[in-house]
Structure 1
Amino acid sequence: MLIRDVHVTPVAFRDPPLLNAAGVHEPWALRTIVEVVTDEGLTGLGETYGDLDHLGKVRDAARSLIGLDVYHHNAIYAAVIASVGADVVVDRHGLTGAATHEKTVDRVFSPFEVACLDIKGKAAGRPVVDLLGGKVRDAVPYSAYLFYKWAGHPGEPEDSFGAALDPAGLVEQARMFIGKYGFRSIKLKGGVYPPVEEIEAILALREAFPEHPLRLDPNAAWSVDTSIEVGRALDGVLEYLEDPAPGIENMASVAPLVPMPLATNMCVVTPEHLPTAIQQGAIGVLLLDHHYWGGLLKSSHIATLCSTFGIELSMHSNSHLGISLAAMTHLAAATPAITHDCDTHTPWQDGQDVVAPGALRFVDGAVPVPDGPGLGVELDRDALAVMNEQYEKCGVRSRDDTTYMQSFDPSFSARRPRW
């Protein structure tokens, strides 16, 4: 089954002013939708980042795939390597850690791999989860992903989520998400306020939700000493502490001196980081993300490797749409080693999507695995057209939380460590 055509469509959708260590989300989030069309009439879907530099690499790779067999995974990967070239290494998005050449290739390859798996599933009449080994769970649990946030973007009306700038606001945000989606665990994006204030926020969440596992992620905004202080202050409170300090070496200095495991999606983001991290005991939990680990198959291989060395697994999220949520759900459903609830930004998209409604839903905080062939989702072409038009008109071409924050607070710095 040969690839006859590839459509690459950039899209933009509204994003709330979510605060983080790099600054604040801009009013528009960007994604790229990939459609791989075969000579037998089947089409597969993929989704990836929307930054202009990455979009250009995806478009270049798409042209190189015409005529390849969707079943020839290795040939498609080789074509992406050739299209990216040998010298390009800087290809970052938001807070997803260090850039490497392999990570760049894997980020470009991932949406095509997902689309080809979607096609293979459709051809076989089986869901993607079956191509990954079959279900070990019927539904994938996700966490309530909390952010400090402004009431709305400056100069715009208050959004439907409202402000959350203190512990009471975060507790209210958690009540809203848990009430609507049924989440059974909670993650707070930290690195925004001095650590003592974020400790207070976690303790307020613990009091309000005594049965919910809690995580805190300051995106490497703290020094080693501060990370140890916070970890000890939250003894018995956190399920894990995510990326408190920057880099494998600093994480390794923190890990033996705090009572909870350290998790990461920043210091270990490509296979070449694993040997050093394992040798130094830097992490106890890895947050997989098929968008930059090279797709679903490679992510499942990484999961097996991590299990061998006693590293537990969860799943990382960034602003995404339903194609990504479907892919994440199939992967997590087929991966026994994912034992922590996964992250998702879906609630923050407030119903905006490019997939037709009905295939994806939250039930008691979990997404049932779509049972249709392939990913089990279909493209909503009207929604795709609207989001593509929004991309053309919004003026945002690369995510830049720091510059957007500095337009309101010129003194803001995203340096790490900050505290």
Structure 2
Amino acid sequence: MPDPLTVTGVTVTPVAFPDPPLLNSAGVHQPWALRAIVEVRGTDGLIGLGETYGDAPHLALLHRVAAGLTGLDVFDIAALTRHVEAAVGAADAPDRHGLTGGSSTAKTVARVLSPFEVAFLDLQARAIGRPVYALLGGKARDEVPFAAYLFYKWAAHPGAEPDEWDEAVDPDGIVAQARKMIDRYGFRSIKLKGGVLPPEEEIAAIQALRAAFPEHPLRLDPNCAWTVDTSLRVAEQTAGLLEYLEDPTPGIPGMARVAARAPMPLATNMCVVSFADLPQAVAEGAVGVVLADHHYWGGLAASARLASICETWGIGLSMHSNSHLGISLAAMTHLAAATPHLAYAVDTHSPWQCGVDVVEAPLSIVDGTVTVPDTPGLGVTLDRDALARMHEDYQRCGIRERDDTAYLRQFQPDYEKRRPRW
């Protein structure tokens, strides 16, 4: 019997990359987005990669886990999980932007486990010369569809030069943004991040998008910015326009009240964010689509398990995105490739990176899809020079925790994050 493939070392590197001033119901993106890159080295000399959030509390837990992984069998994900649980203990480090639901120790464990599980799977797959999707059950599709992810945004961060995506604060700006993104990447579905302007103005933006792109499925995500009554009014006025309405109002009971009368499915990445949320959501009929995200569901295997549960209960499946880099895009692509139940185009923030990445050859979005790589592992290789530059940017940028609300208050001191707002 061959010797087991074990961990010989782990490196966690925080990085920062420029982020445009994208508006949401919590505030506005800061000039720098934070991520953490996980490298797991094995006894065969290969390295597995993972990517996750870069906020200071989360980063501290990543380092705590990394310190005790040496000697662990790379194929023993159960042992990895037990180690993460012990290292996290009773810690609770919720996401700082507040756009992915509540917090708990169990959710913190899932967020901390994810990048290590992805890195272990990447290392496993590299060791046997197979792509990661092969470890998740095989390839259900050769190409993964992604959606154009539109945001209301300023032309530039205050005091900076305008970025390449221009201003978008009204329907004309949103349509222009969509046209530019579709011309560049060929997206065949469109999602608008709402919860920023009064509902009537966001309805007008959806109507303008439908007029400009009559064949593209549309989605609207206000991140719980509306009351139940407002959600129902918007749902009625966008009947026939949206393939789904995402998180219009807070909480499973509120979503259930809207879902009972809305003419389109409701989707969520805020009220169903862990396995413990599923029984109530199913019982109350609160959601028709769950947006999986391996970064906070506990990794790729847990997300595949979520897909099976959703299929069992007749719930559709899409995939949530946060500001991310090429390792996450590759992990999302392999997960989507191995998930037959995935019925909707996947969210991605990749266009908002403006070409900045930590991998040598990021997977490309062409005609709205990413071709699933058949090379060993995730199919991406770390760019050491880029990693070093982006770590220097992290050290220089001065941001250690994402806080969209505090950043917006620098320019609008009376701004309050309220859910619901309208």
Q: TM-score band, normalised by the shorter chain?
A: over 0.9
> 1:128-177 deviations in whole A, cap 9, x for unaligned?
01111111111100000000000000000111110001000000000000
- The answer to whether the 8 Å contact 2:94/2:102 transfers is no
Residue 161 of structure 2: aligned partner:
157
> 1:302-341 deviations in whole A, cap 9, x for unaligned?
1001100001000000000000000000000110111100
Residue 409 of structure 1: aligned partner:
412
Residue 131 of structure 1: aligned partner:
135
**1:4-43 mapped onto 2 (5 Å cutoff):** 4-43=8-47
Establish whether residue 61 from structure 1 lines up as the match of residue 65 from structure 2.
yes
**1:186-205 mapped onto 2 (5 Å cutoff):** 186-205=190-209
Which of 264, 282, 291 matches 2:286? 282
Q: Tell me, what secondary structure is at the counterpart of 2:278?
A: helix
How far off is 1:65 after superposition? 1.3
Which of 371, 375, 379 matches 2:374? 371
How far off is 1:90 after superposition? 3.9
Which of 116, 119, 130 matches 2:120? 116
Establish whether residue 295 from structure 1 lines up as the match of residue 299 from structure 2.
yes
Q: Tell me, what secondary structure is at the counterpart of 2:230?
A: helix
Q: Tell me, what secondary structure is at the counterpart of 1:123?
A: helix
How far off is 1:58 after superposition? 0.5
Query: Which amino acid is the alignment partner of residue 307 of structure 1?
Result: E
Query: Which amino acid is the alignment partner of residue 207 of structure 2?
Result: L
Establish whether residue 92 from structure 1 lines up as the match of residue 95 from structure 2.
yes
Name the stretch that deviates more: 364-373 or 17-26: 364-373
> 1:365-418 deviations in whole A, cap 9, x for unaligned?
001111210001000000000000000000000000000001000111111100
Establish whether residue 210 from structure 1 lines up as the match of residue 214 from structure 2.
yes
In structure 2, distance between residues paired with 1:237 and 1:93 = 32
How far off is 1:296 after superposition? 0.3
Instruction: Output the aligned Cα RMSD.
Output: 0.7
Residue 386 of structure 2: aligned partner:
383
In structure 1, distance between residues paired with 2:329 and 2:206 = 27
**1:263-342 mapped onto 2 (5 Å cutoff):** 263-342=267-346
How far off is 1:226 after superposition? 0.3
TM-score scaled to structure 2, two decimals? 0.98
Query: Which amino acid is the alignment partner of residue 348 of structure 1?
Result: W
Identity of aligned pairs, percent? 63
Q: Tell me, what secondary structure is at the counterpart of 1:373?
A: coil
- The answer to whether the 8 Å contact 1:49/1:93 transfers is no
Query: Which amino acid is the alignment partner of residue 8 of structure 2?
Result: R
- The answer to whether the 8 Å contact 1:64/1:80 transfers is no
Structure 1: gaps of 5 or more residues? none
How far off is 1:229 after superposition? 0.4
Residue 353 of structure 2: aligned partner:
349
How far off is 1:67 after superposition? 1.1
> 1:60-87 deviations in whole A, cap 9, x for unaligned?
01112111101011000000000000x2
Which of 233, 254, 258 matches 1:254? 258
In structure 2, distance between residues paired with 1:139 and 1:282 = 30
Residue 106 of structure 1: aligned partner:
110
How many residue pairs were aligned?
417
- The answer to whether the 8 Å contact 1:148/1:164 transfers is yes
- The answer to whether the 8 Å contact 2:57/2:93 transfers is no
Structure 2: gaps of 5 or more residues? none
Q: Tell me, what secondary structure is at the counterpart of 1:371?
A: coil
How far off is 1:93 after superposition? 3.7
In structure 2, distance between residues paired with 1:370 and 1:360 = 8
- The answer to whether the 8 Å contact 1:171/1:204 transfers is yes
- The answer to whether the 8 Å contact 1:14/1:27 transfers is yes
How far off is 1:88 after superposition? 2.1
Query: Which amino acid is the alignment partner of residue 295 of structure 1?
Result: G
Q: Tell me, what secondary structure is at the counterpart of 1:340?
A: coil
